[in-house]
Amino acid sequence: MRVGVVQFPGSCDERDAAYALQVVGAEPVLLWHGAADLAGVEAVVLPGGFSYGDYLRTGALARFAPVMGALAAFAQRGGPVLGICNGFQILCEAGLLPGALTRNAGLRFVARPQPVRVAARSTWTAGLEPGDVLTIPVKHGEGRYVHDDPGQLAAGGQVLLRYCEPDGTVTRAANPNGSVAAIAGVTNPAGNVAGLMPHPEHAVDALLGSTDGRRLLGAVLSSVAAGRGGPVAAHL
């Protein structure tokens, strides 16, 4: 399965994402931000970093990159799209995901291993069950998720992950950035577009402390292979 990884000026995790995709059995394809098409890939990852230097606002300039037009059309057709950290910010700025990411509560950069609890099934959590706990690192300064009605998102199955304690309990102390309702990741209504602040590409090797990132990145391979990559896969 060929998975595109978009490169923006200022991206810093595209090589890590490509390596992680190889680990789970995919063929990564680096896609330049100025490209007008997606080179026939079957899924797309927007990696972490500082696209366009985070000028104006995180993700605000990247949303206008030529590749985003092709990405929006791909997502509309049901193509699987995952935004990680800065990629999550870009998808929110582009209107492909609800809500926005703002400065962390406390105004400090946070970097730590972080337990997260799966809250819903989607294209990107195939094989995982709601309630499963993964340990995936976070590293961000603007990861505080905000939304006017998080309850509505949850009711619609759009809350993908929540920050939690190792036993799955959601507490204020476990929330690294002050995100509303401890939300660490969300999806679009169809479930094929997802964004998350934790970095699964940095949790695929036991030497780094966790291999739980494989369970997320590998999920989309089974979804697409089974023909469940489109809107019908949402929240099965």
Query: What whole-number distance in Å separates Cα of residue 219 and Cα of residue 87?
Result: 18
Retrieve residue 6's tokens.
């978009």
Of the candidates 14, 42, 93, 201, the residue annotated as catalytic is: 201
Instruction: Let me know how many helices (H) and strands (E) the chain has, helices first.
Output: 6, 11
Burial (Cβ within 10 Å: 0-12, 13-18, ≥19) of residue 113: middle
Whether 201 is a known active-site residue: answer yes
State the catalytic residue, choosing from 33, 147, 199, 202. 199
CB 170 within 8 A of CB 136: no
Active site residue 92: no
Cβ(67)–Cβ(33) under 8 Å? yes
Separation between Cα atoms, residue 172 and residue 158, nearest integer Å: 21
Known catalytic residue at 85? yes
Q: Are 198 and 116 in contact (CB under 8 A)?
A: yes
Annotated active-site residue in 85, 93, 142, 147: 85
Of 190, 188, 63, 195, residue with least CA distance to 140: 195
Among all residues, which ones are annotated catalytic?
Answer: 85, 199, 201
